Amino acid sequence: IRERQREGIAIAKRKGVYKGGTRKLKPDQVIAMLDRLVQGVSKARAAREAGVSKATLYAYLKESSAG
């Protein structure tokens, strides 16, 4: 069963069905949020001001440090 499941998922990915979620913030909004963190605003407050969860903020931080 698991083997067939993996095959089905691989086929779906090739077809473009697994695309991931939509972006919550535009690039300029991400930059503004990161600037707030540099200014010393807490992560919780910066996330709240941007209208995203702390988990989303951490995802953007991870993405910005990796890229």
pLDDT digits (tens, 9 = 90+) for 1-19: 999 999 999 999 899 888 7
Q: Find the length of the chain.
A: 67
| Per-residue model confidence (pLDDT) at position 66 | 66
Residue 44's Cβ-count burial label (10 Å; 0-12, 13-18, 19+) is exposed
pLDDT of residue 27: 87
Name the residue type at position 48.
Answer: R
Average pLDDT, stretch 29-47?
Answer: 90
The whole-model pTM stands at 0.63
**Mean pLDDT score of the chain:** 88
